[in-house]
């Protein structure tokens, strides 16, 4: 097996990395404090093709492999994991729009989604159903014109900020087969939002509840087949787990790079910190963890791209392993900075805050272990 990246893959990584260094990193702390990302950034990212990573070429997208896409998110996360993770959400939604929307809906919305003039958010989680997503209560009722949606979605990145929302709602019975997917556009009657959530990390992503009160949705905004919504949600999770692992990897790599620079400059007891063996071992352990995580993630992405029968298990394992390894590395790098690591100026504390949620979303890491265990016991 060849583990080397191709010339094209290196170009993808370097393009994303350079964009992040120039356009994201200098502003990440400001956006974190302000609680929002300027929408102008998304159109600049889309100009590189990064708003349509997994959309088919025939629809105007880049149609990258899962492995290629992880390179984009890893590279961008070196500058800000929060920005990169929000881009991952948009890309998941754009792929669903490409594969599931009616021709009329695609013709009207997909070009703007690919250019990120239309930013997309994903709404599955509810106040009472997180890991148990199949228990969602949001109701979809038929009307003469289409559908009426009633319910509340929680922890929605881009709530009140995005231009359209893919919403999972119950159009049938209480089983997973009773769930359908709908596209709700901003400004729809009955669509409103809760207050801005005050979060530990990912603070640059505006996060609110999405509230639906007899929200009117045209018939053409049903995505795919009625009753197949839960299947669509589960099908998108493998890719989302790879992407969030890549975001963890890139941010942790940035933390290690900062720590390496710091220990070579900072002096204690007449020597720079990099001369102390105890600290050298911490750096070495961090490098070992990140290299192992990178290999594990890319192999899981390969499994998805080649339709390996255990691709879902590998995605779950990679998500759990990489997000936890990255959090350990980031915490170690903060410790290596001493008191300065606790200050915002050095950029480490933001990485630690941002990475904490990666072990919760896209399925908690406890659920990842459940997936692995079930696979082993089948």
238 and 65 in contact (C-beta within 8 Å)?
no
238 and 69 in contact (C-beta within 8 Å)?
no
Residue of 44, 74, 362, 366 marked catalytic: 362
3-state secondary structure of 187: coil
- Our CA dihedral for 250, 252, 256, 262, rounded to 10 degrees, sits at 110
Q: In angstroms, what CA-CA distances link 221 with 108, 187, 288, 373?
A: 11, 14, 48, 37
Two tokens, residue 211: 């509230």
- Our CA dihedral for 106, 109, 115, 118, rounded to 10 degrees, sits at -140
Neighbours of 150 (CB within 10 A): 16
3-state secondary structure of 79: coil
Confirm whether 74 is a catalytic residue.
no
CA distance 210 to 192: 6
In the chain, the N- to C-terminal Cα span, in Å, equals 28
Catalytic residues: 362
């Amino acid at each position: 097996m060849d583990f080397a990246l191709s010339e094209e893959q290196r170009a993808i990584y370097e393009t994303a990395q350079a964009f992040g260094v120039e356009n994201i990193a200098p502003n990440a702390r400001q956006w974190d404090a302000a609680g929002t990302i300027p929408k102008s950034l998304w159109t600049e990212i889309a100009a590189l093709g990064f708003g349509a990573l997994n959309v088919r070429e025939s629809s105007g997208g880049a149609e990258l492999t899962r492995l290629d896409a992880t390179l984009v998110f890893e590279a961008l996360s070196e500058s800000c994991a929060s920005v990169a993770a929000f881009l991952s959400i948009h890309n998941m939604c754009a792929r669903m729009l490409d594969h599931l929307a009616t021709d009329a809906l695609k013709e009207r919305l997909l070009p703007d989604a690919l250019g990120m003039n239309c930013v997309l958010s994903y709404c599955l989680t509810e106040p009472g159903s997180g890991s148990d997503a199949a228990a969602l209560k949001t109701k979809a009722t038929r009307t003469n014109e289409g559908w009426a949606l009633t319910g509340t979605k929680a922890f929605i990145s881009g709530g009140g900020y995005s231009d359209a929302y893919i919403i999972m709602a119950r159009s049938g019975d209480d089983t997973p087969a009773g769930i359908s997917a709908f596209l709700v556009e901003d400004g729809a009657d009955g669509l409103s939002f809760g207050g801005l959530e005050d979060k530990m990390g990912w603070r640059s992503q505006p996060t609110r509840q999405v509230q639906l009160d007899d929200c009117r949705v045209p018939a053409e905004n049903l995505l795919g087949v009625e009753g197949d919504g839960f299947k669509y949600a589960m099908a998108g999770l493998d890719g989302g787990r790879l992407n969030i692992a890549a975001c963890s990897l890139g941010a942790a790599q940035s933390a290690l790079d900062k720590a390496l620079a710091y220990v070579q400059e900072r002096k204690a007891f007449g020597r720079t910190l990099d001369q102390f063996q105890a600290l050298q071992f911490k750096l070495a352990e961090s490098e070992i963890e990140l290299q192992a995580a990178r290999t594990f993630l890319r192999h899981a992405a390969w499994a998805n791209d080649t339709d390996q029968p255990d691709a879902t298990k590998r995605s779950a394992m990679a998500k759990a392993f990489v997000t936890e390894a990255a959090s350990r590395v980031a915490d170690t790098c903060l410790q290596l900075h001493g008191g300065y690591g606790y200050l915002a100026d050095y950029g480490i504390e933001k990485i630690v805050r941002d990475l904490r949620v990666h072990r919760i979303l896209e399925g908690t890491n406890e659920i990842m272990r459940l997936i692995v265990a079930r696979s082993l016991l089948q």
